[in-house]
């Protein structure tokens, strides 16, 4: 779905061109394949940041560049299907979000340039040879998913000084989530926490994964993945039902009722991804463009959720938060 059509669906306004005219013009334009790992509502702020930066660089959507949007809804099989479709469409650049969709695009083509706007651990998961010299046809931005695990646990301990047993929810089908889980366990051991791990691979696994945690933990760390991000409302409802304080990597989980999140600002990353796309459309090779890391991080607290859980958030945490939801 093109962005203009998508905006119309959610209530935006704009001139609707005849289909044939749009198709004829789009055929003449450089085309970006936007492989959305989750859904359009999740990605709206990131899309706006990406398109705005493209505009600043001289790429006006539907005038000087075309963007084909596709949404995987967190389903692993859709990543490969969408990537194959972009290959058939012969897009000029594929933009991905999250490691599983980036791996799918990499498997689908060794020719079309790929830019990942946010990948958990691009070296550890084999996406790139190194951050300085990615090699191949792929580059982009790392979100340091594994590096931030210890920071998140320190925040949890500050909120819950008596915390003894921590649960981890991990999507074992997401390579970056599996790596993050290992980092969480290492950090938890250092802090003296006991661990309980619950694993999922499909949406049908989420409820049973929570059933397995009943009475076994005092807080929950969720390793980010497209599957769990797409189903974040369900995850939060189950956690609240078990009265488990939650820690996440992205603000979207907190807007959906989670307790706390600390991690990279996604719109900022998508804005910077536009710079990669611009360079590639001007002839740069992805393998020559170093992978960059986040420069802007968000610490979000949902005080409404804290009240539901009967938790008193220390003023020191509230003071450090970039955003507090009440």
Residues ≥6 apart with Cβ < 8 Å to 223: 168, 169, 170, 171, 174, 177, 178, 180, 181, 184, 249
- In angstroms, the CA 45 to CA 25 distance is 27
Residues ≥6 apart with Cβ < 8 Å to 41: 10
The answer to whether residue 14 scores a pLDDT higher than 50 is: no
Q: Which residue has the higher pLDDT, 224 or 285?
A: 285
Residues 223-259 have pLDDT tens digits of 989 899 999 999 999 999 999 999 999 998 999 999 9
CA end-to-end span of the chain: 35
Q: Which residue has the higher pLDDT, 15 or 149?
A: 149
The CATH number given to 149-264+298-325 is 3.40.50.2300
Q: How long is the chain?
A: 326
| pLDDT at site 13 | 39
Task: Return left, alpha or beta for 137; rule: phi > 0 is left, psi -120 to 50 is alpha, else beta.
Answer: alpha
Contact 119, 225 (CB under 8 A): no
| pLDDT at site 27 | 55
| pLDDT at site 146 | 66
Neighbours of 150 (CB within 10 A): 16
Residues ≥6 apart with Cβ < 8 Å to 301: 254, 259, 260, 313, 317, 318, 321, 323, 324, 325
The answer to whether residue 147 scores a pLDDT higher than 80 is: no
Please give the average per-residue pLDDT across 83-104, as a whole number. 95
Q: Across 6-20, 139-153, 219-233, which has the greatest mean pLDDT? A: 219-233
What's the chain's Rg over C-alpha atoms? 20
| pLDDT at site 47 | 95
DSSP 293: -
For the chain, the structural domain boundaries read: 3-142+266-295, 149-264+298-325
Domains 3-142+266-295 and 149-264+298-325 in one fold = yes
Please give the average per-residue pLDDT across 134-142, as a whole number. 96
The answer to whether residue 115 scores a pLDDT higher than 60 is: yes
Please give the average per-residue pLDDT across 62-78, as a whole number. 93
Contact 113, 94 (CB under 8 A): yes
- pLDDT > 90 in the chain, percent: 79
| pLDDT at site 174 | 87
Question: Which architecture does CATH list for 3-142+266-295?
Answer: 3-Layer(aba) Sandwich (3.40)
Q: Please, what is the average pLDDT of the chain?
A: 90
């Amino acid at each position: 779905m093109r962005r203009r059509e998508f905006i119309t669906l959610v209530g935006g306004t704009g001139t609707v061109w005849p289909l044939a005219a749009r198709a004829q013009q789009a055929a003449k334009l450089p085309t970006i394949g936007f492989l959305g790992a989750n859904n359009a509502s999740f990605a709206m702020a990131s899309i706006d940041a990406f398109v705005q930066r493209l505009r600043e660089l001289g790429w006006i959507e539907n005038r000087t560049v075309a963007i084909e949007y596709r949404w995987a809804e967190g389903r692993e099989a859709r990543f490969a299907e969408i990537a194959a479709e972009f290959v058939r469409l012969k897009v000029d650049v594929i933009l991905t979000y999250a490691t599983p969709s980036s791996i799918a695009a990499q498997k689908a083509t060794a020719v079309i340039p790929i830019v990942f706007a946010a990948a958990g651990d691009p070296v550890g998961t084999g996406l790139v040879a190194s951050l300085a010299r990615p090699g191949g046809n792929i580059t982009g931005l790392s979100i340091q998913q594994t590096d931030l695990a210890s920071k998140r646990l320190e925040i949890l301990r500050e909120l819950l000084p008596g915390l003894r047993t921590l649960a981890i929810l991990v999507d074992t089908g997401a390579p970056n989530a599996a790596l993050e889980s290992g980092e969480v366990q290492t950090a938890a051991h250092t802090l003296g926490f006991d661990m309980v791990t619950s694993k999922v691979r499909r949406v049908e696994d989420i409820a049973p994964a929570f059933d397995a945690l009943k009475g076994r933990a005092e807080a929950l760390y969720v390793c980010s993945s497209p599957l769990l991000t797409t189903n974040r409302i369900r995850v939060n409802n189950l956690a609240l039902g078990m009265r488990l304080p939650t820690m996440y990597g992205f603000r979207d989980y907190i807007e959906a009722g989670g307790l706390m999140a600390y991690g990279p600002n996604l719109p900022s990353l998508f804005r910077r991804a536009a710079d990669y796309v611009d360079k590639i459309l001007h002839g740069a090779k992805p393998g020559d463009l170093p992978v960059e890391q986040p420069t802007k991080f968000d610490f979000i607290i949902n005080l409404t959720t804290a009240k539901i859980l009967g938790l008193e958030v220390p003023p020191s945490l509230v003071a450090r938060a970039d955003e507090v939801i009440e």
